[in-house]
Structure 1
Amino acid sequence: MEEESMEEEGGGEAMMDDQNHNNWGAGGYGRLLLGERALPARPAGPEQNGAGLRGCEPGAAAGRAGAAGAIAAINISASTSKFLMNVITIEDYKSTYWPKLDSAIDQLLTQSPGDYIPISYEQIYSCVYKCVCQQHSEQMYSDLIKKITNHLERVSKELQASPPDLYIERFNVALGQYMGALQSIVPLFIYMNKFYIETKLNRDLKDDLIKLFTEHVAEKHIYNLMPLLLEAQSTPFQITPSTMANIVKGLYTLRPEWVQMAPALFSKFIPNILPPAVESELQEYAAQDQKLQRELIQNGFTRGDQSRKRAGEELTYNGSSTCASSRGYR
């Protein structure tokens, strides 16, 4: 099939697509998915074609009625022929439609933040829509999963070859890049998700794609990554706080049960991970805070100008109490 047949958006087909797109509640899109095609509207009758026809004789009117029926039959035949000419065969899908989707997915998966991607989102969105209408959802879903799986396996191999001092940063880049790509990929395949994945598979596309990253990247690297994260935690600013936060929150999103591997680490970035504090442990918390302050000072961070503090604002650690003095606040 010529490529322009895919990109042509005008004429009767575009009107039909708009009707089906805007009338889900009336079952228009569902009928289109089942292969049904709405017939064109009946041509206007003689009484609608201007005052000049109203004065015609009955015999002429009957002749015109017969002609109108013939015109309607011709229009129906033309509409059927147009529909048959625009059928997307499996060969058309493989040679014309999927290559366009494949190229767009490649660019989205490998883009860096802020990159300009020279693809037509409208064209890709329309491509997916037409393939769904022509019953190619199952093949398209299979191709999408295979495409992204192959990409993630390459990402995993690149991480395995990373030296320890770059491992955390590269994992953070891979995670952020993939999650960013999903923000574009999932909306582009919204029709496939709505009318195939949710309806027939009882799943969701975004959940499926996140699961792919978990299985093909995170699960393979979690036991190498976690010791490095714990080591970095014990050495403040070995990696940037934003990188640590992104990875920890990302791991929690992928699989919440990984919290059990390092509860203290996750609790620094995810609320309500640890049980509530009890009074008997307040002294220990105070000691941890003092240790952190010493480490910050050793790494060049100062406490700033303390002369402007008002009396009573300094924290005091008196026995088991870590509360600020409440004098003057009765």
Structure 2
Amino acid sequence: PAPPPQPYRSWIKSSILACFLTKYQLMNVITIEDYKSTYWPKLDSAIDQLLTQSPGDYIPISYEQIYSCVYKCVCQQHSEQMYSDLIKKITNHLERVSKELQASPPDLYIERFNVALGQYMGALQSIVPLFIYMNKFYIETKLNRDLKDDLIKLFTEHVAEKHIYNLMPLLLEAQSTPFQITPSTMANIVKGLYTLRPEWVQMAPALFSKFIPNILPPAVESELQEYAAQDQKLQRELIQNGFTR
């Protein structure tokens, strides 16, 4: 007899695959208790290491194992719980980072903020890909958001927003004091702040324009001296409103 038409053969293959996957899932059910006792602890430990690593550190974790954990949890409908746990985990970490910055003396404040920002953004380069399945099949599909955007927003809310009014006067002072901080540190922070919240440019247009191209309207590019005066005025106002060096 002639073989079945191509669409029918495709349907048969799809049905067999669906049946196989259903049996596989039934044989490998991950209960919420399994998730909490076995799967999340592995993810929790890996996230800890990624959030606290320094550049060049060797992280003794199996990316393949973590990726597999996330995939299995997504397939077993634990995406919502996993997302909630991830956000809570990183929020708690950032609140600790913010408190440590708050206790920093002015002469170390800029450098420590730079380290915190760089360390977190570096960690996201590993964390976001590890949770790619959760991002694709839960965050993008059901929440209409993106994991990287959500995690950057956490740093903005729990660290940057709390420190911007202490940080900005120090940055303005540092730009007028040669060798107080390295140009690379200043560039990293200014570019990072712009990434977190572009409207912060309005706090110090002259400073931001040195590191972010084309952020000032062309018609006022020649008015940098006026912007510099505005920066100095902002610095005085912040100090008068309670900021002490």
TM-score, structure 2 as length reference? 0.81
Q: Which moved more, 1:199-208 or 1:64-73?
A: 64-73
C-alpha change, 1:47 and 1:261, in structure 2 (3 Å) is: closer
Number of residue pairs the alignment of both structures matches: 239
Q: Give the CA deviation at 1:299.
A: 32
- Does residue 47 in structure 1 map to residue 5 in structure 2? yes
Whether contact under 8 Å (2:165, 2:238) holds in the other structure is no
Percent identity between the aligned chains? 95
Q: Give the CA deviation at 1:66.
A: 25
2: distance between equivalents of 1:109 and 1:205? Answer: 16
Q: Deviations over 1:209-268 (max 9, x none)?
A: 000000000000000000000000111221000000000000000000000000000010
Q: Deviations over 1:61-105 (max 9, x none)?
A: xxx9999999999xxxxxx77643310000000000000000000
Whether contact under 8 Å (2:50, 2:59) holds in the other structure is yes
2: distance between equivalents of 1:300 and 1:160? Answer: 15
C-alpha change, 1:111 and 1:289, in structure 2 (3 Å) is: closer
Q: Give the CA deviation at 1:288.
A: 15
* 2:5 match: secondary structure: helix
Q: Give the CA deviation at 1:276.
A: 2.6
TM-score, structure 1 as length reference? 0.61
2: distance between equivalents of 1:219 and 1:297? Answer: 18
Q: Give the CA deviation at 1:44.
A: 18
Whether contact under 8 Å (2:98, 2:159) holds in the other structure is yes
Whether contact under 8 Å (2:187, 2:211) holds in the other structure is yes
C-alpha change, 1:293 and 1:152, in structure 2 (3 Å) is: closer
Q: Which moved more, 1:244-253 or 1:84-93?
A: 84-93
2: distance between equivalents of 1:200 and 1:161? Answer: 40
C-alpha change, 1:136 and 1:277, in structure 2 (3 Å) is: same
Whether contact under 8 Å (2:139, 2:146) holds in the other structure is yes
Q: Give the CA deviation at 1:273.
A: 2.1
1: distance between equivalents of 2:239 and 2:14? Answer: 92
C-alpha change, 1:241 and 1:291, in structure 2 (3 Å) is: farther
Whether contact under 8 Å (2:206, 2:227) holds in the other structure is no
C-alpha change, 1:267 and 1:91, in structure 2 (3 Å) is: same
2: distance between equivalents of 1:70 and 1:250? Answer: 50
**Structure of greater Rg:** 1
Whether contact under 8 Å (1:112, 1:177) holds in the other structure is yes
C-alpha change, 1:89 and 1:291, in structure 2 (3 Å) is: closer
Q: Which moved more, 1:233-242 or 1:251-260?
A: 233-242
Whether contact under 8 Å (1:236, 1:295) holds in the other structure is no
1: distance between equivalents of 2:236 and 2:228? Answer: 13
Q: Give the CA deviation at 1:300.
A: 35
Whether contact under 8 Å (1:97, 1:127) holds in the other structure is yes
2: distance between equivalents of 1:224 and 1:250? Answer: 16
1: distance between equivalents of 2:211 and 2:106? Answer: 23
Which blocks of at least 5 consecutive residues in structure 1 are unaligned? 1-42, 49-63, 74-79, 302-329
Whether contact under 8 Å (1:197, 1:203) holds in the other structure is yes
Q: Give the CA deviation at 1:185.
A: 0.3
2: distance between equivalents of 1:203 and 1:85? Answer: 33
2: distance between equivalents of 1:184 and 1:191? Answer: 14
Determine the structure 2 residue equivalent to 1:101: 43
C-alpha change, 1:277 and 1:130, in structure 2 (3 Å) is: same
Whether contact under 8 Å (1:45, 1:68) holds in the other structure is no
Whether contact under 8 Å (2:205, 2:227) holds in the other structure is no
Larger RCO: Structure 1 or Structure 2 (Cα < 8 Å, ≥ 6 residues apart)? 2
* 1:102 match: secondary structure: helix
C-alpha change, 1:281 and 1:255, in structure 2 (3 Å) is: closer
Return the structure number with greater helix share: 2
C-alpha change, 1:281 and 1:130, in structure 2 (3 Å) is: closer
